[in-house]
Amino acid sequence: MNSPADVPVALSAFLRGVERRGVVLAELQCGRRETGEIALAASLRAFRQYASDQPMAQWPRGFWSLLAAAPPLRQAHPEARWPQDLDWLADLSDADRMALLLRLAAGLDEDDAAAAMDVDQAAYRAALTRACPRDDAGQPDPQGWRDLAEAVQQHLRALSPERLAHLSRLRETLVLGTDRRAVVPEPEAGDAVRAPSSTPSTAPAVDAPANTRAPVGPRKPAKPFPWTLAVVALVVLCALAAVGAWWWHGQQSRLSAPATVQADGAPGAQGLADEAQVKVEALSSDNDAAARFDAAQGVLTHPDFDLLMDPQGQALSQRAGLLAWYAAAPQDRQRDAAQALAAPPQEAMDVVQ
């Protein structure tokens, strides 16, 4: 944010994100809604000058430091009232209550919360420990802490649209001020309302209030849909589709019709031939193949050439079924099979049976 003209734009976006938490923290710290809004307004006014002099990374700590140091928040209001689910805040000291709300309402970590209160981390932890809800035995109550945190978040979500609109107007008035025109875009030339040049105004110029929105020119009437052009385009597309279909049908008919030959051998018009001309050629006999391939060539090209060249492997493959049965059989069956192999063929068949 080196340019002063860019500060109001970024400042408005930053405050839009923290103003809800800021107003809830201020209200719960002092216990009165009107006093909390006064403290928030004073912090916004001071933060405008702070933001123009500091880098954007320092804005969060600067905003919460200014809000925590606001005079209306240094002590509870004499007419302070807290909701029933947040009545624990009434029994806390002002410093302990601020330490608790910076954690639950503002959502700051220990470093930023301690910097906002202008104390070290040890002092902030001590204040937060004193503000933690306690059980009947005086020990920290985790469930009480969760209930208190949920009650604060519910209070944040319960802000009415009217109050949010009021915060928006407060932000625009106090922060943007006379530089409001820097963040409001100028109307375009076609949308601006021009006064007739023949009747110059003689009334003195009056400055508009800062929170008054700039007048907006009348909107242009919506243009009717061009139905005529759409219908014409549809008709043209249909005509082109019809022409394309007619051309495609003609091409298919011309390609599928057989050609005829005139008497002189010249190609004639499309039509059906009286007699189809078929060329017949006899196939070669087996003797021709035998003349080209001898017995040796037949063995070399045999699919089982490797098996033919290994007689022992061929003999073993023929006995593969018996050997597999022999390997899987019990010992007594293996003994019978061995005897069958050693016996003559007829006796072997008897043993197998």
Q: Residues 235-262: pLDDT tens digits?
A: 888 888 888 888 887 777 666 555 444 4
Residues 24, 160: one domain? yes
Q: Is the pLDDT of residue 311 over 50?
A: yes
Q: Does a structural domain hold residue 256? A: no
Q: Does a structural domain hold residue 61? A: yes
Q: What is the Cα–Cα distance from 140 to 134, expressed in whole angstroms?
A: 5
Q: What is the Cα–Cα distance from 156 to 106, expressed in whole angstroms?
A: 10
**Which of left, alpha, beta for 147 (phi over 0: left; psi -120 to 50: alpha)?**
alpha
- 55-73: buried (b, 16+ CB within 10 Å) or exposed (e) per residue? eeeebbbbbbbbbbbbebb
Q: Does a structural domain hold residue 69? A: yes
Q: Does a structural domain hold residue 30? A: yes
pLDDT of residue 113: 92
Confidence category of residue 114, pLDDT binned at 50, 70, 90:
very high
Decide if 116 contacts 160 (C-beta within 8 A). no
Q: Bridge partners of 270?
A: 259
Confidence category of residue 119, pLDDT binned at 50, 70, 90:
very high
Q: Does a structural domain hold residue 236? A: no
Q: Does a structural domain hold residue 196? A: no
| More confidently predicted of 74 and 213 | 74
Which of 132, 147, 180 is at the close of a domain?
A: 180
- Cα dihedral across residues 22, 27, 29, 35: positive or negative: positive
User: What range does the domain containing 47 cover?
Assistant: 4-180
Q: Bridge partners of 140?
A: 134
Q: Is the pLDDT of residue 277 over 90?
A: no
Q: Does a structural domain hold residue 294? A: no
Which of 180, 198, 225 is at the close of a domain?
A: 180
User: Which amino acid type is present at position 216?
Assistant: V
Residue 65's CATH number: 1.20.140.160
Q: Is the pLDDT of residue 47 over 80?
A: yes
Decide if 31 contacts 77 (C-beta within 8 A). yes
DSSP 8-state assignment for residue 196: P
pLDDT of residue 344: 63
Where does 132-226 have alpha helices with state H?
142-157, 161-171
User: Which amino acid type is present at position 226?
Assistant: P
Report the pLDDT averaged over residues 148-169: 88
When computed from its CA atoms, the radius of gyration of the chain, rounded to whole angstroms, is 50
Q: How many domains does the chain have?
A: 2
Q: Does a structural domain hold residue 115? A: yes
Where does the chain have alpha helices with state H?
7-30, 33-53, 59-68, 94-104, 110-117, 121-131, 142-157, 161-171, 227-256, 286-292, 295-300, 305-308, 311-318, 320-328, 331-342, 345-352
Residues 171, 316: one domain? no
- 9 is written with which tokens? 């734009």
Q: Is the pLDDT of residue 72 over 70?
A: yes
Which of 180, 210, 245 is at the close of a domain?
A: 180
Say what the pTM is.
0.48
Confidence category of residue 100, pLDDT binned at 50, 70, 90:
very high
